[in-house]
Amino acid sequence: MIDKRESRAWAEIDLDALAHNYHALRDWIQASSAPEAPVALLGMVKANAYGHGAPAIGRKLQELGADMLAVACLAEAVELREAGITIPILCLGQTPVEQAEDLLAYDVTQTVGDLEIGRALSAAAVAAGKELAIHIKLDTGMGRLGFIWREGSQAGTVEQVRALCALPGLRAEGLFTHFAAADEDVDYTELQGRRLREARAVLEEAGIHLKHYHCASSAAVLNYPWTHMDMVRPGIAMYGHYPDPASEIRGEPSLRPVMALKARVTSVRTMPIGTKLGYGCTATLKKESRVAVLSIGYADGLPRSLSNKLEVKLHGIPCPILGRICMDMCMADVTAVPQTKVGDAAVVYDGDLNRIAELAGTITDELVCRVTARVPRVYRENGTRIG
Ligand SMILES: *Cc1c(COP(=O)(O)O)cnc(C)c1O
């Protein structure tokens, strides 16, 4: 009997692979940076845990011993709290000040990269009679969010951060920055690292000592042990994908993909040479072929840009997608797999997604994030399916 969740298209999420990656990254960090104290691990679970399902991934990371989780917005933090997450949660995005009450009620640590917003949050916390934990964001070169730290502009930033830290109702616990090019530009990454270290030193001289200093996303964790500081923030690597294919070639640490996207075969027909397939008639059969229809399309998150490019697997054998990927379906040439029948499960993707991402003109992160809500996430743990 087919599980109801697996009647159409579904994503298999392997929590054992997540545990493997968690331990592999922990071991790699301890071995490569040889820190005096253990490096804390913040698990990145924004965007529904990169499409893997935030409640289940958050609970598993908490159980594994993650020190902290991070999300993009308050709603994601609330979802995690309601799923039983009790470890600290850092909200990376700007929360509207009107929602400060919820930050306090759900015990969410808020990123602050602007003094005016800090003042408004301080006032809200004081009014509520509570203290809001914050991490201070520095813009060392990403050009996106945070107090700007550049050569020549340090003094003003120090004054702003001092003023922020002196506000009542706020408890500053961290200072961090984000790299713009940790997967491609060594010099720029080192420049950003120097700026963060300088900021830390200058602020410490000014009497500001924080519990956590952090900057390393996956590419930095793998490429630059000096970025580990006392906390790391891996995202895509925890889900089993190398941000930089070279890391895989170097072979350490070994990661296992957590998600496999699958779909049912809903029809198999033999079609004559010359048959045109799909919208726009972009594929024409060059010989008589067996054509299967799979119940997955771009409304499930399968990029339409993979039309006539992706190969899915049936019974382990690669089968090319023929014609344009439709909203809810796509077609595959299964001539090479004569045993294919209605009800078979096709592997749309699993394993290394870097090549598929390249075919789709995107990155692995987008492939996993874009799997839509219509696709049930089915979890496996200790080798078996869980509810
Ligand atoms: C998303 C994100 C990360 C994780 O990035 P990966 O490349 O997926 O490891 C780390 N830090 C910040 C601020 C992020 O937004």
Rg (CA), the chain: 24
Residuewise pLDDT in 10s, the chain (387 residues): 678 899 999 999 999 999 999 999 999 999 887 777 889 999 999 999 999 999 999 999 999 999 999 999 999 999 999 999 999 999 999 999 999 999 999 999 999 999 999 999 999 999 999 999 999 999 999 999 999 999 998 999 999 999 999 999 999 999 999 999 998 899 999 999 999 999 999 999 999 999 999 999 999 999 999 999 999 999 999 999 998 766 655 657 899 999 999 999 999 999 999 999 999 999 999 999 999 999 999 999 999 999 999 999 999 999 999 999 999 999 999 999 999 999 999 999 998 899 999 999 999 999 999 999 999 999 999 989 987
Ligand 1 closest atom vs CA 238:
9
User: Which residues have C-beta atoms less than 6 Å from ligand 1?
Assistant: 44, 46, 92, 178, 217-219, 233-237, 243, 365
Question: What are the backbone dihedrals phi and psi of residue 371, each rounded to the nearest 5 degrees, phi first?
Answer: -65, 120
Single-letter code of the amino acid located at 272: P
pTM comes to 0.96
For the stretch 94-125, pLDDT in tens is 999 999 999 999 999 999 999 999 999 999 99
Distance 232 CA to ligand 1 centre (A): 10
25 with 237: CB under 8 angstroms? Answer: yes
Residue-level pLDDT at 252: 78
The secondary structure of 67-135 as a DSSP string is SEEEESSHHHHHHHHHTT--S-EEE-SPPPGGGHHHHHHTTEEEEE--HHHHHHHHHHHHHHT--EEEE
Distance 51 CA to ligand 1 centre (A): 14
Distance 11 CA to ligand 1 centre (A): 22
The verdict on domain 259-350 having CATH code 3.30.420.40 is no
169 with 118: CB under 8 angstroms? Answer: no
Interatomic CA distance for residues 364 and 273, integer angstroms: 36
Single-letter code of the amino acid located at 208: I
Residue boundaries of the structural domains of the chain: 15-240, 259-350
Interatomic CA distance for residues 212 and 200, integer angstroms: 11
Q: Give CA torsion, residues 213, 46, 356, 16, to 10 deg.
A: 90
Interatomic CA distance for residues 382 and 47, integer angstroms: 26
169 with 160: CB under 8 angstroms? Answer: no
Distance 312 CA to ligand 1 centre (A): 29
**Catalytic-labelled residue, pool 22, 46, 239, 242:** 46
236 with 364: CB under 8 angstroms? Answer: yes
Adjacent-strand bridge partners of 260: 12
Q: Which of 42, 233, 236, 364 maximizes ligand 1 atoms within 8 Å of its Cβ, making it the mutation to test the pocket?
A: 233
CATH number of 15-240: 3.20.20.10
211 with 173: CB under 8 angstroms? Answer: yes
Q: Which of 28, 90, 91, 92 maximizes ligand 1 atoms within 8 Å of its Cβ, making it the mutation to test the pocket?
A: 92
Query: Has 379 been annotated as catalytic?
Result: no
Interatomic CA distance for residues 377 and 385, integer angstroms: 11
Distance 182 CA to ligand 1 centre (A): 11
Ligand 1 closest atom vs CA 46:
1
